[in-house]
Every structure is written in structure tokens, then in C-alpha cells.
Structure 1
Amino acid sequence: MGNITKRGSRDLMADSAMPLESLVSALQSRLYDAIIKEDCDTIKTLLRSHPVNQPLTILASSTGHRLLSQTQPIFPIHLAAEYRKPQSLLCLLQHGADPEVRDGQGLTTLHLMLLNWPVTSTTWTKPSTRIQKILTDIQRNTVMCLRILCDHGAQVNARVDSGNKDSPLHLAITYGNYSVLSILAQNGAQVNAINESSMAPLHMAAYILNKNMIETLIACGANVNCAIASTGVTALQLAVCTASSKAGRLLAAGVGCIRLLLNHGAQVNAQDHEGHTALHEACFGGREVIINLLLEFKANVNILTRNGESPIYMYLQNSSNIRDVTLLARLLDRTYPLRLTNKQGILPAGIMLPEFHILRETLIKLSKKPLTLEAICKRNIRNVYGEKYKSHLKKLLPSKLWNSIYGIYDFTSLLK
């Protein structure tokens, strides 16, 4: 029994007669294969000859995995993370691997893992299919690797060296999924960290209309009213802007994100540096469901931008909006005074088209016609209580008074 030599040791003894360059190549090739196969016993043996934090540079892998050249070195810990090998990753960390070592692009192990996060489908019709099982296993292994890295001191706030200096949370928004966010936050990730573009993770999640990510970030303490320093734009404005360009299911998803932000305290009348509110963005986009939602949360239809543009001005800028006279009438009913021009005295581009000549003249006349004090008071009551409390007011007010307040002037017939 005393003459029996372990297989790994015997291989190294046989290799000792090889030229140094070939010996290094063979050693790195076996280490590469051992990491991919999660052969921890072989990894431990090979680390006696190959420093754990020394990059692999020359590989002739027998497993069919990628080959690396001298100009593309990769550290063993990066290899384990990129290929989602939790046992290999744990073994390397236990033997002194540095999770903060950076590759040639300035990326740490955590960065690389997030950049290579697997994409999984949520539309499987047969959950037991072999392909879905493989993808589920990959997802599970990736989460295990992330937890192992966090448990072994990976810096969850380390920035990428290049580009926007994104934090791991920013990368998780772009490449990961919502479960990653909570894991990072639980391990100390700064949920309100901003990148070089002054965007917090919540801004990015709102812009791509990812409701799960928005919900997770808010639950982890994200500031729902944080504004981008360079523009003053909030997450609500970003969500409205993106959703206004969508239709069908994507529009419905966007409305869900907007409502989620509003329910968690997003300031509906917050203005960016140019004075635009979420309602300005929604009116330009012309999506009735978004405009109605903002009005439900008391969006002010009379706020002007720095250039003197009201929400209805933005609505009339887009000629495709003007054909929806019902929505236009609803906005007109809430707008007073009606300002049809900006500070330069320029009318909205949409109503300048020849086909809207009659409408343009009608609106100009309306803008010059002052309302009575009684009409202004009734309009203010409608704006304050909105449609949401309309039926409640009917129970409190005398029927004659209620009919007087809500028997509003029908702008629709006037605009046709």
C-alpha cells in the first residue's frame, strides 16, 4: 500500500521530464478541465504547483472549452464564476482565491458573473421538458455562485473600471433578474448608488419597465423620488416615457410599473430641470390609460415647463393625438387658463397642420374666453376630487349642486 501514488501526484511526476513551457501548458490545461468538471480533489492537487491567483494563459483543453492565448489570460476564479461552477468556486476561495482580482477590462469576479447571467424563459408550456430542467439547473448554480461569492467577501459595491462605472446592482438590472437584487442588497449593496450617468438602479429598472425589479428595489429601500442629477428626471418620468411608446401587453406592463411607483409615493408633479412632469411626457405620448392614471393620482394639468408649455400644449404637439377628441376634451375640461402658446408665442406643431385649421381656430377662441368665477370653482372641485370620488360626493351634496358641478360642458361636440 505504501508504494501506491495518488493519480494527480503521479501525473505531475511524469510531467517533470517535459520542457518548462509544455509543463506549464499541461498543468494549466488540467486545472482548466478540473474547474469545469468541478473535480475539487484535482484542483487542490494542482494548486500546489499553480498559484491560485495566477492567470491561466496557455490552454490546450481536451474538454472542448475555449482556448486562451497569452493576450487573453483568465484567472481560475473567473473561470469558475463565468461557467457557473459553485463547487469549483468554493474550492478556489477556500484556497486563497481573491474575488476582487480584475481582468484586463477591469472586471471583478462578481462583475463577470453578472455580465454572464443566464437568461431563462417565463413562457414554458411544458415545465418538465429537458431543456427547461437544464436552464433551471444553470440558474440555480448561478445563484449558488453568487451567494458563495458574497459569503466570502466579494465587494458588492465595487465599480466597473470603464464605461458608466456601474455597480453590481446596475449590472444586475441590465443582465440579471430581480432575485439577484435582493441577494446583493442583503449583503450590503447600496441600493441608491449612482453611476457616471447619475442613474440609480431604480431609474434603470423603471426605464426598462421591469415591475419585479422595481418592486424589489423599493422593498430594499430605493428612493422612489431620486432624480437624475444631470436632468432632474425621476423613475416615474422614465417609466411614463417608455410606456407611452408601447402598445398591447407592453403598454399594460408599463401601466403596472407606473401605478406601482405612484402607490409607493412617487411624486406625480415632480418637475425635471426643464420643468416637465410625468403628465407632460404622457400627454406627448397620447396614451389615454397613462394620462388617466396620472390624473387619478392628482397630476396637475396646469403646470408649465420653463418654456411655458402646459401638458395640453404637449398633447397638441403630436398630430396623431389630436384625432382623439374625447381625450382632448377631458384635458380641456381640467385646464385653466388655456395656454396655447409657449413663451415665444409659438403654437403647438400638431394643430398647425392644414387639416386641423377649424380645430385650431376653435381652441384659440376658447383660450381667449375667460371663465366665470362659478365655473372656475366647479372645475377646481372636479380636479381636486376627480372621477375617483365623484360617486362619494354625490352622496354628500344636494343633487342640484352635484349636477351643477358634474354637468360639465361637453367639449367633445365643440371639437368635432
Structure 2
Amino acid sequence: MGNIPRKGSRDLVVDSAMSLEDGPSAALHSKLYEAIMREDCTTIEQTESIIPIHLAAKYHKAQSLLCLLQHGADPEVRDTTGLTTLNLMLLHWPVTSTTWAKPGNRMHRILTDIQNNAITCLRILCAHGAQVNAQGESNKRSPLHLAIAYGCYPVLSILAQNGADVNAINEASMTPLHMAANMLNKEMMETLIACGANVNCAVSSTGNTPLKLAVCTASSKAGRLLGAGVSCIHLLLTHGAKVNAQDYKGQTAIHEACFGGREAIINLLLDFEANVNILTRNGESPIYMYLQRSFNVRDTALLARLLDHTYPLRMTNNQGILPAGIMLPEFRLLRDTLIKQSRKPLSLQGICKRNIRNIYGEKYKQHLKQLLPVAIWNSVYCCYDLANLLKQDLPASQQQGLSATQTAFSG
């Protein structure tokens, strides 16, 4: 056709049939708009005008798009906002799911056709030289970042197969995997990891890894959403995520999990040998983070488990400040008991037991049970006797009322 000017094309190409001036140009553009929407390739080929390739991509008209590209349309021409044809296609990706309809019925077929048309257009663009790593002019979002942001799950593997950098960073220095982990989108995470995404890449401004972002998001969830979050965390850990990686504040995933107080997440991290004795730059241990919230303090069973892995027990940060959650009057006895324990050196035997629990974790607990004598194994894996410590700190006249106090703690 020879009618696709590349020089100055950004000023010439438009995204809507109504953006041209009135008159003959508007009528011609309207005719071309209708031809593209009807996928009338004969009319498209005969039209001597600027080809709005963005229009064909936006509405996922595969035959029109192919016709335009075969006759010289530039897939990299940008609109007035700096977006390429590929960018626009992803921004207008159909948000549909075939799970909405019963397989085989009319609605299911329609949704499937919509998705297939979009995928066909994407493959056509990639086959005709679309730059799969081109970033937006106003930001550094690559097509992969756009696909994550707009939930375009089917396109990830296609972009990766055509050379998309799965470890590209956006304006916030986040990779696509950072974004997917922060959204707890397991399907996207699995695809990105299978395509070579770095599970230990850290955000340059914060030091956050995908694991820490997933733990942070999952810790705010409950019920089924919490279960989905745990599944995402497990995915990262089984693919080599460093469980004890620290961000720029010195926090690790277990710090975040302890602050959130979600037992399932804490247990999973402990199974993968999370170190509960790592301190942040401000001298805060994971158990310090746990005690920051009164809701957590009431779960004394989980508190006892964390104490089982903790040594030395630090009750203050670098400024000598105690955790906020334990400062409530109802926790005075527990607070005083823990402060007393933090000042008492642990016996060599106690240190050895904690080291064994920290090194082998819950994952090898039952294996050790087969190797060690019963008495030794019971001694190593005995539960931190928080109730007994509380009882020791009470006057004899008050020890009978301890059960009521324990009930208040366990809430």
C-alpha cells in the first residue's frame, strides 16, 4: 500500500474514528473504521489513507490487523500518550473467564472466542516485529508489567516466548514477579517462574523480595484468601526463595509474618528454616514484632512456639522500647514474666535444644523422632511452658486463679 508514513507517525496516527477533522478525511476515516470492524480486507487494501492499526488491535480484529501489517503498518507507532499497538492491546484485553458459563453452552463459546481472538491478535503482532520489551514513555512499564496489572494471564507465556524480559523493572523497580506476588496471583507467578523469573530479585528502593511482598499481602487475609496466600508463599519457597533475605530495614519474611500473626504463614516459614533470631536495623526480633499487636499476644500457643525457637530473648529494640501490644494492663503478668526470662541466661542444654529445633525445623521433626531416643526427642521438642512460668511468678495465694488468667490470654 505504501501509505504508512513512519516519520512523524505519532502525530498522524489516531486511535479513534472521531479524532480526524470534519470533511473528506473524516468520511474516509469513518469508512475505514467500518471496514476494520467488519474485517473487510478488500476495502482496507483499497483505502489510500493513514491506517489506524491501533483500532484493529484495540478491538481484537485479527484479519484487519494482519492485513494492515502485511501492507506496511508500523506495529511500533505510538499514540499521543506514547503507547504502542501492543500496549493498547493489553490495556484493552478482554476481562473474561470461561468459568463464568457452563462448558459447551452459547455464553461459554462466546467468551472462548473473545479470548481466542485477542490471543490471535497478540501472536500476529509478535510475528510482525512488535517490540515485547518496549516501555511506555511516561513510565517504565513493559508489556509484561501491563499484562500483570490488567490481569492478562494468557499473554505471559506468549510474550516470554517472543523474547520478553521476565526480570524487567518498572518505574517502582519492581519485576513482573514482584507485582504478581504482591497480588497473590499464583497462576501468573507459576508462569513467570517457569519462564525464568528471579525469585530473589530485590526492589532497589526497599530491598523487598517477591517472598516478603507475598507474606505481607497474605498476612492481611483470612479464610480462603489466606489459604491462597500460603499457597503462593509455598510456591516461592519451593523454587528457591531465600527465606531469611533482609530488606533495607533489616526485616525478613518472618518479621512480617509475626507482625501479621497468621499461624499458617509462620509455621510454613519455620518449616523452611526461617531464623527467628534475626534483628532488624532497629534491633527488633520477629518475636518483638509479634508482641507489637495485642491480638497476637492473646494467642499464647503460637507465642510459646516462637519462644521455643528464640534465643536470646530480646524484649526491647535499640531504643530500649518494649513492644506496644504487651503494654496493656491485662498483659502485666505476661510482660513481667517475659522480661524476667529475657534477663536470665539460657542453660547450655537449652541452647542446644533450640539450635536443633532451628536447624531441623518442623520438616524433619518426625525423622529425628525415629533416630533419637524417646526421652531425648521429647526433651528437644517439649513445648515452651509459658503457663508454668506465669504460675511461678504469681504469689501462692493467687496461683489458683491462674486458669482464669490463661483463659484471658488465649482469648
Q: TM-score range by the shorter chain?
A: 0.7 to 0.9
Which residue pairs with 1:92 in the alignment? Answer: 68
> Structure 2 counterpart of 1:104, which letter?
T
Q: 1: CA distance between counterparts of 2:186 and 2:316?
A: 37
> Structure 1 counterpart of 2:134, which letter?
A
Q: Percent identity between the aligned chains?
A: 74
Q: Alignment partner of 1:104: what SS?
A: coil
Which residue pairs with 2:7 in the alignment? Answer: none
Which residue pairs with 2:37 in the alignment? Answer: 36
On the 8 A contact 1:325/1:412 being kept in 2, the answer is no
| C-alpha distance 84-125 of structure 1, shift in aligned 2 (>3 A) | closer
Q: 1: CA distance between counterparts of 2:329 and 2:383?
A: 30
Does 2:119 align with 1:143? yes
Q: 2: CA distance between counterparts of 1:247 and 1:176?
A: 22
On the 8 A contact 2:270/2:362 being kept in 1, the answer is no
TM-score in terms of structure 1 length: 0.86
Q: 2: CA distance between counterparts of 1:366 and 1:271?
A: 27
Pick from 153, 156, 160: which aligns with 1:178?
A: 153
Which runs of structure 1 show a deviation greater than 6 angstroms over 4 or more consecutive aligned residues? none
Per-residue deviation at 1:176? 3.5
Q: Which moved more, 1:167-176 or 1:304-313?
A: 167-176
Per-residue deviation at 1:130? 2.6
Does 2:316 align with 1:341? yes
Which residue pairs with 1:64 in the alignment? Answer: none
Q: 2: CA distance between counterparts of 1:88 and 1:295?
A: 55
Per-residue deviation at 1:344? 0.2
Per-residue deviation at 1:387? 2.1
Which residue pairs with 2:375 in the alignment? Answer: 400
Q: 2: CA distance between counterparts of 1:143 and 1:335?
A: 52
Per-residue deviation at 1:124? 2.8
On the 8 A contact 1:310/1:339 being kept in 2, the answer is yes
Q: Which runs of 5+ in 2 are unaligned?
A: 1-20, 391-405, 407-411
| C-alpha distance 109-382 of structure 1, shift in aligned 2 (>3 A) | same
Q: 1: CA distance between counterparts of 2:261 and 2:116?
A: 42
Q: 2: CA distance between counterparts of 1:189 and 1:204?
A: 16
RMSD: 1.5
Does 2:233 align with 1:258? yes
Pick from 167, 170, 174: which aligns with 1:192?
A: 167
Q: 1: CA distance between counterparts of 2:388 and 2:242?
A: 34
On the 8 A contact 1:182/1:216 being kept in 2, the answer is yes
Per-residue deviation at 1:225? 0.3
TM-score in terms of structure 2 length: 0.87
| C-alpha distance 324-413 of structure 1, shift in aligned 2 (>3 A) | farther
On the 8 A contact 2:166/2:192 being kept in 1, the answer is yes
| C-alpha distance 340-151 of structure 1, shift in aligned 2 (>3 A) | same
Q: 1: CA distance between counterparts of 2:64 and 2:106?
A: 25
Which residue pairs with 2:355 in the alignment? Answer: 380
On the 8 A contact 2:272/2:361 being kept in 1, the answer is no
On the 8 A contact 1:169/1:181 being kept in 2, the answer is yes
Q: 2: CA distance between counterparts of 1:316 and 1:404?
A: 26
Deviations 1:113-140 (A, max 9, x none): 1111111236435223433322221111
Does 2:79 align with 1:80? no
Q: 2: CA distance between counterparts of 1:247 and 1:368?
A: 36
Q: 2: CA distance between counterparts of 1:23 and 1:402?
A: 89
Does 2:123 align with 1:124? no
Q: Which runs of 5+ in 1 are unaligned?
A: 1-19, 53-75
Per-residue deviation at 1:352? 1.0
